[in-house]
């Protein structure tokens, strides 16, 4: 029919116009994204400020758990050091008894004490290796705790400042104004600001996720250790060694390699009695997320 033909021509003309005019395409894309965000927002938290606030709560809970985990690990390491020290004394004692037995031609006693000393040496080698791995855990957890405290404070500062900025930008840049900016080819200030906040939320999400994964791995590792009987599961060690070989940590950055070197250095002795470091508030320190808005 004539009406159908007219409608068809109008539709084809509209499609052709959209294909040829970049501003029109941008406007349609903006409208599509706005509708999709509205629909998604019914079911999911999309407000980047709200997401960052929830991450602050998560970090505070994780920091409490991590502090408890560090204290438990410190206790286990103290016990393990005592076991290693007692074994060393037993080794020396058995070697001394074996030497005395040899002097008195008591061959059976000499063999018995020598073998016992040998078994204790083998046991200590495994326990000292375990202690090194626990030292890696301790150093990493302590540094993660310190860096996560800084992360939490940086997020809180950003939320406090940017929440008011966002309200002002959203009030001065209505949806219609944003659409007109897109049509004219200018940047939408409201969208750019929200994109920066979303980028921060994504970065924080990755760091919180890494923090929680490492805490879970640490808990599994510690649960697998039986200090009373001097045994531990190889799976826990394997998981830790795999983490050591992985790439750069989001929370630790380049500090990860330095921590691993410290843990494996005989010259760098870990002081288990030293309290966990807490970052000192420095008024001149640059917030790690300030450059997201540049």
Q: Give the sign of the dihedral formed by CA 287, CA 289, CA 293, CA 294.
A: positive
Residue 167 burial class via C-beta count within 10 angstroms: exposed 0-12, middle 13-18, buried 19 and up: exposed
Record the tokens describing residue 41, joined without a space.
């927002």
Tell me how crowded residue 131 is: count the other CB atoms within 10 A of its CB: 20
Record the tokens describing residue 14, joined without a space.
């509209």
- Residue 57's φ and ψ, nearest 5 degrees, are -60, -45
Residues 127, 87 contacting (CB under 8 angstroms): yes
- Residue 226's φ and ψ, nearest 5 degrees, are -115, 90
Instruction: Please give the torsion angle defined by the CA atoms of residues 173, 175, 181 and 187, in that order, rounded to the nearest 10 degrees.
Output: 70
- Where in 102-232 does DSSP place strands (E)? 225-226, 231-232
| pLDDT confidence of residue 30 | 45
Residue ranges of the domains in the chain?
Answer: 47-293
Record the tokens describing residue 247, joined without a space.
């790439």
Across the chain, mean pLDDT equals 79
For tokens 């994204």, name the residue. Answer: 33
Segments of the chain with pLDDT less than 50: 18, 24-27, 29-30, 34, 37-45, 175-176, 179-180, 182-183, 185-186
Record the tokens describing residue 200, joined without a space.
């921060």
d(CA 24, CA 158) in angstroms, rounded, equals: 35
d(CA 149, CA 158) in angstroms, rounded, equals: 14
| pLDDT confidence of residue 45 | 43
Record the tokens describing residue 292, joined without a space.
């997201």
| pLDDT confidence of residue 195 | 80
| Residues ≥6 apart with Cβ < 8 Å to 70 | 138, 141, 142, 145, 276
| pTM for the whole structure | 0.73
């Amino acid at each position: 029919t004539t009406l159908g033909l007219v409608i068809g021509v109008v539709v084809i003309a509209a499609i052709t116009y959209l294909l040829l005019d970049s501003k029109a395409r941008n406007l349609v894309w903006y409208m599509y994204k706005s509708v999709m965000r509205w629909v998604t927002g019914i079911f999911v938290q999309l407000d980047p400020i709200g997401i960052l606030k929830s991450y602050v709560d998560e970090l505070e809970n994780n920091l409490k758990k991590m502090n408890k985990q560090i204290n438990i690990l410190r206790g286990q390491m103290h016990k393990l050091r005592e076991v290693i020290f007692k074994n060393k004394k037993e080794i020396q004692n058995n070697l001394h008894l074996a030497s005395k037995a040899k002097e008195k031609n008591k061959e059976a006693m000499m063999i018995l004490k020598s073998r016992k000393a040998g078994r204790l040496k083998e046991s200590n080698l495994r326990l000292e290796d375990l202690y090194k791995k626990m030292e890696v855990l301790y150093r990493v957890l302590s540094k993660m705790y310190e860096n996560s405290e800084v992360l939490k404070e940086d997020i809180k500062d950003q939320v406090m400042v940017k929440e008011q900025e966002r309200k002002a930008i959203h009030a001065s840049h209505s949806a219609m104004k944003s659409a007109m900016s897109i049509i004219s080819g200018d940047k939408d200030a409201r969208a750019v600001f929200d994109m920066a906040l979303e980028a921060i939320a994504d970065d924080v999400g990755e760091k919180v996720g890494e923090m929680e994964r490492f805490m879970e791995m640490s808990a599994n590792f510690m649960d697998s250790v039986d200090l009373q009987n001097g045994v531990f599961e190889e799976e826990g060690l394997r998981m830790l060694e795999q983490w050591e070989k992985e790439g750069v940590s989001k929370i630790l950055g380049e500090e990860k390699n330095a921590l691993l070197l410290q843990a494996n250095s005989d010259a760098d002795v870990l002081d288990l009695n030293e309290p966990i470091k807490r970052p000192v508030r420095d008024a001149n320190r640059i917030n790690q997320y300030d450059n997201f808005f540049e």
